[in-house]
């Protein structure tokens, strides 16, 4: 079982991952309301990934004999000024999640909890990919400007994102 400090941090991280899932589902609904189904699809896949991240920590806690205490999840934003603004918000959120994952890994090191640190290294690596993916979309949207045909093409490209696969609880 992990110590109380780590257990609280892991429970907080589960809440943050579930909030992330909720945020991306809200972004999906926003894009769907604009008939940008590809962008909506991309965000729905992102929501599923974030839910899987929360479940990965949940499974780790159960496996390690820790107590999972689910917390309320705050409602996310529901509208953005533009599709670019929504993806910029997603990038800012991923940067926030990266900070959280790094802090949790640092806490595990400070507490000499090698198993939790090992598990958190998966998240640290995953966040590099998460930020890069969203940053790429933001860069492309900025290049396009407010060009309707460009946004249409980007929407079609984002529709091809594959659904996530379930990662084992402890890698």
Give yes or no for a contact between 86 and 98, defined as CB atoms under 8 angstroms apart: no
Residue 75, pLDDT score: 96
As given in the structure block, the two tokens for residue 108 are 């595990």
Tracing tokens 């400007």 back to the chain, one arrives at 145
For the cut 80, the answer to whether the pLDDT of residue 138 exceeds it is yes
- Is residue 87 helix, strand or coil? helix
Provide the terminal-to-terminal Cα distance of the chain, rounded to the nearest Å: 17
CA separation for the pair 6, 109 (Å, rounded):
10
Sign of CA dihedral 96, 169, 43, 24: negative
- The domain spans of the chain are 4-158
Q: Evaluate whether the domain defined by 4-158 bears CATH number 3.40.630.30.
A: no
The average pLDDT across 27-56 equals 97
Q: Give the C-alpha separation, 113 to 170, whole Å.
A: 15
pLDDT band at residue 169, thresholds of 50, 70 and 90? low
pLDDT, tens digit, 9 for 90 and up, residues 69-127: 999 999 999 999 999 999 999 999 999 999 999 999 999 999 999 999 999 999 999 99
User: Residue 83 corresponds to which tokens in the numbers above?
Assistant: 């599709």
Give the CA dihedral 54, 96, 86, 151, nearest 10 degrees: -90
CA–CA distance, 169 with 160 (Å, rounded to integer): 27
pLDDT of amino acid 167 = 57
Report the pLDDT averaged over residues 41-47: 97
Helical (H) or strand (E) element with 107: helix 83-110
């Amino acid at each position: 079982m992990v110590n109380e400090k780590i257990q609280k941090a892991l429970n907080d991280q589960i809440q943050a991952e579930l909030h992330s899932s909720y945020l991306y589902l809200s972004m999906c609904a926003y894009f769907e309301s604009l008939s940008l189904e590809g962008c909506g699809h991309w965000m729905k896949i992102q929501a599923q990934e974030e839910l899987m991240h929360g479940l990965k920590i949940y499974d780790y806690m159960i496996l390690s004999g820790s107590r999972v205490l689910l917390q309320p999840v705050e409602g996310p934003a529901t509208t953005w000024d533009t599709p670019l603004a929504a993806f910029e918000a997603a990038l800012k959120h991923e940067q926030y999640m990266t900070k959280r994952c790094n802090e949790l890994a640092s806490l595990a090191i400070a507490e000499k909890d090698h198993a939790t640190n090992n598990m958190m290294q998966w998240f640290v690596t995953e966040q590099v990919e998460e930020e890069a993916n969203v940053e790429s979309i933001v860069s492309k949207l900025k290049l396009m400007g407010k060009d309707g045909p460009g946004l249409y093409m980007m929407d079609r490209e984002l529709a091809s994102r594959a659904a996530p696969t379930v990662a084992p609880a402890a890698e």
